Chain A
Amino acid sequence: DAKTTQPNSMESNEEEPVHLPCNHSTISGTDYIHWYRQLPSQGPEYVIHGLTSNVNNRMASLAIAEDRKSSTLILHRATLRDAAVYYCILRTTIQGAQKLVFGQGTRLTINP
């Protein structure tokens, strides 16, 4: 399975932008890059995904390197509610089923 590498933890201040990096040097041409986040004792929540082009939605932006071997999740203005573990995941499809391979993620702390 394709793997991702993320920093174990990051810290930022409220109302500042946050850039969460992810390396995925073994990505294949059909793997999508997904980001999910998980609050304590809850299920993961979808944040954003992309294949080649940068993506924006109401929660965040995803910047994908031209060679697709790395990506960055951007929270434009962090709030205390953004404190969570963020997972960068490569999504593959096996026999029509999605397969998300989770790593350990980045624990994001937001300081007031």
Chain B
Amino acid sequence: DGGITQSPKYLFRKEGQNVTLSCEQNLNHDAMYWYRQDPGQGLRLIYYSQIVNDFQKGDIAEGYSVSREKKESFPLTVTSAQKNPTAFYLCASSPLAKNIQYFGAGTRLSVL
């Protein structure tokens, strides 16, 4: 089935540790996005990418990094510089010609 797969579903980070969240899509979509959601809040854009080897900062990029080496993959690294990483992280993709974003099931990150 076509869709967006995020892994792991739950992730724990130790102090000073970098962690990487995976996002894979088999929808052949050009654009991919990472969002952060805090409890009771809407989503905020971290990074987005329209084509391979290119990505742009969103509204809250500090403390995060991404790569886009393949069209189907857009991993997000939460670095030790992100002092408050506990949140629900959502990945999305969309075809450039269509106005709809499709979301994965999310990764819930907590700090030990």
Contact = CB atoms under 8 A, between A and B. Distances in A.
A32 B35 CA distance: 20
A46 B100 contact: yes
User: Which of A49, A95, A97, A100 is most buried by chain B, counting CB atoms within 10 A of its CB?
Assistant: A97
A43 B31 contact: no
A101 B103 CA distance: 15
Contacts of B99: 32, 34, 49, 91, 98
Interface string A76-107: 00000000000100010001111111111100
Interface residues of B, number: 26
A51 to B, nearest CB: 9
B81 interface: no
A41 B104 CA distance: 11
A41 B106 contact: yes
A16 interface: no
B31 A44 contact: no
B13 interface: no
Nearest to A87: B42
Given A95-B56, A97-B31, A102-B43, A42 B50 contact: no
Contacts, number: 53
Contacts of A34: 99
A98 B101 contact: yes
B68 interface: no
A15 interface: no
Nearest to A49: B99
Q: Which 4 A-B pairs have the closest CB atoms?
A: A43-B103, A102-B42, A102-B43, A46-B100
Interface of A: 32, 34, 41-46, 49, 87, 91, 95-105
19 contacts: A41-B106, A42-B106, A43-B4, A43-B103, A43-B104, A43-B105, A44-B43, A46-B100, A46-B101, A49-B99, A49-B100, A95-B56, A98-B101, A100-B43, A100-B101, A101-B45, A102-B43, A102-B44, A104-B40
